[in-house]
Chain A
Amino acid sequence: MSIKFAVIVFPGSNCDHDAYHAAKHVLGHEAEFIWHKETSLKGADVVILPGGFSYGDYLRTGAIAQFSPVMTAVREFAATGGPLLGICNGFQVLCETRLLPGALLRNKDLKFHCEHVRVRVEQTDTPFTARASVGQVLNLPIAHGEGNYFADEATLTALESSRRIIFRYCDAEGRVTDSANPNGSLRNIAGICSEGRNVVGLMPHPERACESPLGSEDGLVLFDSVVSSLAARGALTA
């Protein structure tokens, strides 16, 4: 049984190989790079928008990638309930595309943060957290200058009431504190999901935390979750 991951490659993507490696070599599933000028996702079961600096972060992070030809197919995939994960720059692209609400601003302290942080899993009814437990603390790396999640009060209230905040920055004990917030994100938000819950975006890099030599295997749970979710839907190809 194998599922097919599509990793979208924009000019300036630089975590595309990390995502491909995690899906193909660590999990042992199929993975394919899809260049941003393609118009088909080639039958993918899961789509990943990887980290990096698409279009050099020109204009705003993720702003220009939203107009790439492949994004039409990505929007259709999301609209039909396909599991779509945006990591770091991929999260920024999802916000610019309006597949997720809000925006990612310059880090509050203006510094580029490249470090391991802790995030708490808030909800498990998404395809990417189904195998996690509520309150589980994950050790994941971040590497971004613009990860400061912003949305207006009405949007934040709606996200809370519809349980769409999926990950929050926390300390090692799972406490959501200001000092555990690396970038100034409102309500310590590290990741959210769409109304349909199938589109998830987060700033930390689960794909870089799937093997112990890299310092953490905590990112595996996102990949295991989507495999289980698809298996439950009977979407696996034999």
Chain B
Amino acid sequence: MKARVFVTLKPSVFDPQGRAITESLHSMSYAGVSDVRQGKYFELELAADSAAAAKALAAEVADKVLANPVIESYRIEIDE
């Protein structure tokens, strides 16, 4: 089973990379892009019997390793 984990900075955390990308887009005249936040994307191959078990396993490794809860949050999608 496959899991996709999206890790993003919490809204309260300043993202200097996202800011630099936003400013670059503005200098390219993309005024319609008002903000960019950069994150991380992980694809996990999981040995799990059910979507629920896969999600639980993905959440466990996201909590422990993939995301730092001090600055980041995450969202999980499961492919059955």
Contact = CB atoms under 8 A, between A and B. Distances in A.
A34 interface: no
Contacts of A106: 16-17
Nearest to B20: A110
B1 to A, nearest CB: 22
Interface in A126-180: 148, 150-152
A110 B17 contact: yes
B52 interface: no
Contact of B65 (A59, A107, A150): A59
Interface stretch (B29-37, B43-51, B66-74): B66-74
Contact of B16 (A67, A95, A108): A108
Nearest to A64: B65
B14 interface: yes
B68 A63 contact: yes
Contact of A150 (B13, B17, B20): B13
Contact of B68 (A103, A107, A110): A103
Given A59-B66, A63-B65, A150 B16 contact: no
Nearest to B70: A103
B35 to A, nearest CB: 17
Contacts of B17: 106, 110
B27 interface: no
A154 to B, nearest CB: 11
A109 interface: yes
Interface in A52-78: 59-60, 63, 67
Residue from B13, B66, B71 with most neighbouring chain A CB atoms (10 Å): B71
Contacts of B16: 105-110, 148, 184
A102 interface: yes
16 contacts: A59-B66, A95-B70, A101-B70, A103-B68, A103-B70, A105-B13, A105-B14, A105-B71, A106-B17, A108-B14, A108-B16, A110-B16, A148-B16, A150-B13, A150-B70, A152-B12
Given A148-B16, A150-B70, A184-B16, 13 more contacts: A59-B65, A59-B66, A60-B68, A103-B68, A105-B13, A105-B14, A108-B14, A108-B16, A110-B20, A150-B13, A150-B14, A152-B12, A184-B14
Interface of B: 12-14, 16-17, 20, 65-66, 68, 70-71
